Each structure stands twice: as C-alpha cells, then as structure tokens.
Structure 1
Amino acid sequence: MIGDEDDRPRAQTGFRPADVAVMSVAALQEYVAELRAEIARAEAAIEARGSSRQAADAFFRLPEG
C-alpha cells in the first residue's frame, strides 16, 4: 500500500551489544539505564507515529451514508 509505514526501508542502527562479561556492576547498571532510555525514546516515536496516523485517517475518512 502506498505510504504504508511498514514498507519503508528499515534504518540500520549499528547497535552492538556490549560484552557484559567484562563489565562491573556499576557499568552494567549504567548500561541498563541507557538501554531503557533508548527503549522509551523508540516507544515514544512509535506512539507519535500512531497518533499521526490516526489523525490522518480521521481527516481523510469518507463520510458515511
């Protein structure tokens, strides 16, 4: 479908998991906090796109009847 978000190319994030075997407890806690912050940022972007999509769908909806 034209304009469908799922048809867009996926960005290459370059994410490489850290070697947790060599990290201290403090470093692991910081790493987990950073990952949680990034997850929250991604979830917010998903929510914003869903809200924009709902608004567009409502605007362009054909009148019933």
Structure 2
Amino acid sequence: MTLEQHWWNGDPTPRGRRDVYIRTDGQRWEVQAQIGGASGRSQVQGCPSRAAAVILASAWRGGRSTWREVPC
C-alpha cells in the first residue's frame, strides 16, 4: 500500500497524538485512524474509492482545525 495522505492532530505527546492515513494499492483504498502514536491503537477501514476514503478520513478527523496535513 502507498501512503496517499496523512494528517495528525498536532499533539506531540504520545498519549494525545492522533493520526489519520489514506493508503491505496491502486485498486483498493483504506483509511487508518491511529491513537497514541506508533505504539498506540489503530483501526483500519476499507473504502471502495478515493472519494469514499477522503470522506471517511474527514469524518474521523472530526472537522477540527488543529489537524495538520503531513507531506507524503
């Protein structure tokens, strides 16, 4: 899977950090929400299209303005 987009909530502490990723292999799309940094918990949801992945990623970010897009 190739990383297409990545956002994080701007909280540098491992406990408060949240990340949302969109990945694709060219056929399938998935969105991953991660809580607590690299050693935290995560959830991955498959999506039928890029548009669906973008909508889900936006919903998981909750519309907060503190989220920052990380260059891929």
TM-score calculated relative to the size of structure 2: 0.30
Q: Which has the higher contact order (CA 8 A, sep 6+)?
A: 2
Higher strand share: 2
Higher helix share: 1
